Structure 1
Amino acid sequence: MIQITDMSLRIGQRQILSNITFEVKKGETLGIIGPNGSGKSSLVKVMSRLLIPDAGSVTLDGKPLGSYSSKMLARKMAVVSQEGLAPLPITVEEAVAMGRYPYHGFFRRNTARDAEAIQRALVRTGLEPLACKLLEQLSGGERQRVAIACSMAQEPEVLLLDEPTTYLDIGYQIGILNLVREWQRETEGTAVLVLHDLNLAAQYCDRLVLMESGNITRSGTIEEIMEAKLLADVYGVKPLVVTHPNLLLPQILLERSS
């Protein structure tokens, strides 16, 4: 679905990404992990065309990303950043309605289909009771749910989520990731998640891409990436890899230094 081949990105004199090659398959959840400054967010910006690479190619459904108009790309792909939505004096419903802009022409008002998509996004994210509340009255976690709802109202095929659980407590983290999983099951959509929490990445992703210093160190299954020596080399700490008692997936524990 998304194919990145030999892609490199330079900003000014700084090399941000180098020779990036990987594929995101239709219907899967791909996790992008790595230390701070490894290039994860820059990679998502390239995938969403916010940044243009210096070399290589990025294709979506076999077509170069640059060949899509802005509105056509927005119908295919939605992006949620870690900042979420600003606490603006607009209602939750009005914010979610902004997700319908790719389907609007000049002077076009919301149609019945728009109203249905907005309502479905509100219900799916549990925001229906808050529809009339102002964003400035919501908590950070609630505003992040609104950002998710807005992206779902776009009816995209791909969700790109750049650290969507940053700054949220564990309850909101699980809630956000469950929303993405439920959306995926209902729509057969594709999700790309940039995550700092390796345990959540292991639980919610099908495959992982591990980045370091603007390069892909390794990509593969959860078991291939959640390997103690590999993580120690990349993160500079020695983790203890254990098996989740219910999910039977690798999870990490950290030990304090003596």
Structure 2
Amino acid sequence: MREDYFYTEGLTVGYQGVPLIREIAFQLKKGEILTLIGPNGAGKTTILKSLIRQLKPLAGVIVLEGQKTGEMSGRDFARKLSVVLTERVRPEMMTCKEVVATGRYPYTGKFGVLSKEDWKIVDEAVRLVHIEDLAERDFTKTSDGQKQRVMLARALCQQPDILVLDEPTSFLDIRYKLEFLSIIQEMARNDRLTVILSLHELDLAERISDKVLCVRGDRIDRFGTPEEIFCGDYISELYGMTAGHYDAGTGELELQPVSGAPKVFVIAGGGRGKAVFRRLQRQGMPFATGILWENDLDYPSAKALAVQTVAVRTYSAVDAEHIEKAKELIDSCETVLTVFDRTEWTKLPEGLKEILAYAEEKGKLTE
């Protein structure tokens, strides 16, 4: 007997009988978070709509706690699974708290009257998502980001075992993105809430997910842990990136480097050079940099943005060849920038001290 709490087998989804994505297979244990990633239009929302029975699967099965979801009653399904989609909900003449309260309807009788216990659960959901100040406001008069938080409270009000969210952070600023996902992660960890969501923010997907499902064309390209997905050049391949650079190690994106012979040489390190590299790129100024170890925090940005980088392999020593190459680039550049204050020079590796002294001797050093 399978131990998976939620899984799909041979699932094919699409519209009007036309398959869009075939043979979707994934497995989740209770309390795990699954994130769907992939290019726009790849079919992430179609998969989510099929999981929540808004679209009928064209083939295969979806199983929740040993039962096929297609065989569950609507009320039982609503008690097990709650949804937050990007589609705009526009209730008439309802406060935010009243919208949240509709999440209790699967538990009420045919008249939809909420008990004192139901209202306690509503209040707890409002508090959990930090929307107390919105509770009595007209839902239609709130911002998109506020609406998204209200809809999360409504979903949590259902006390579901599974929460499905389609691009839940799209309308949130950075503070509420982190708050929103922190609430979800805490509930998955403490209450064993199983979460399935789609995200465009790859850095957030890497951090919150237990499993990642990669949607590409008419198939699922990969399914695995973040460590298995966010590695090498895979993300660039998945999204078909032709401009700029994505670094799997840091999750950072960089724009296209400026081409041409370098005019500026940057002596940096310890993550302090990134801002300089990006400023030069914005200014359309081609530059070179070094000497950097490949495990330095500045190295990924340097590799993406610099015309040339004098790099040293991790745990290796700077040798005469590295120093000579850096001096040649200093000679060919108009100016040399450094992120290091003079008071720090004595603490730097010998190779960096030597090229700093050389740049100063040549009259090119600008601090």
Provide the TM-score with structure 1 as the length reference. Answer: 0.91
Q: Which residue of 2 aligns with 1:32?
A: 36
Which protein is richer in strand relative to its size? 1
Given that 1:87 and 1:137 are in contact with CA atoms closer than 8 Å, whether structure 2 keeps it comes out as no
Do the aligned partners of residues 84 and 176 (structure 1) sit closer, same or farther apart at CA in structure 2, a change above 3 Å counting?
A: farther
Q: Which residue of 2 aligns with 1:193?
A: 197
Q: 1:155 is aligned with what amino acid?
A: Q
2:148 to 144, 152, 163: 144
Aligned pairs for 1:63-212 (under 5 A) are 63-83=67-87, 85-86=89-90, 88-212=92-216
Aligned residue for 1:242, secondary structure, equals: coil
Q: Which residue of 1 aligns with 2:253?
A: 253
Q: 1:239 is aligned with what amino acid?
A: Y
What displacement does 1:60 show?
Answer: 0.7
Given that 1:38 and 1:215 are in contact with CA atoms closer than 8 Å, whether structure 2 keeps it comes out as no
RMSD: 1.7
Aligned pairs for 1:7-26 (under 5 A) are 7-12=11-16, 14-26=18-30
Q: Which runs of 5+ in 1 are unaligned?
A: 244-250
What displacement does 1:137 show?
Answer: 2.3
Distance 1:8 1:91 in 2: 39
Q: 2:30 is aligned with what amino acid?
A: K
Distance 2:239 2:218 in 1: 14
1:240 to 247, 258, 279: 247
Q: Which runs of 5+ in 2 are unaligned?
A: 259-367
What displacement does 1:236 show?
Answer: 1.4
Given that 2:231 and 2:249 are in contact with CA atoms closer than 8 Å, whether structure 1 keeps it comes out as no
Aligned residue for 2:253, secondary structure, equals: strand
Q: 1:240 is aligned with what amino acid?
A: D
What displacement does 1:156 show?
Answer: 0.3
Q: Which residue of 2 aligns with 1:2?
A: 6
Look at both structures and tell me which one has the larger radius of gyration over its CA atoms: 2
Given that 2:148 and 2:171 are in contact with CA atoms closer than 8 Å, whether structure 1 keeps it comes out as no
Q: 1:28 is aligned with what amino acid?
A: E
Q: 1:255 is aligned with what amino acid?
A: L
Comparing both chains, which one has the higher relative contact order based on Cα–Cα distances under 8 Å and sequence gaps of 6 or more? Answer: 1
Distance 1:79 1:23 in 2: 19
Aligned length: 251
What displacement does 1:72 show?
Answer: 0.7
What displacement does 1:234 show?
Answer: 1.4
Identity rate, percent? 35
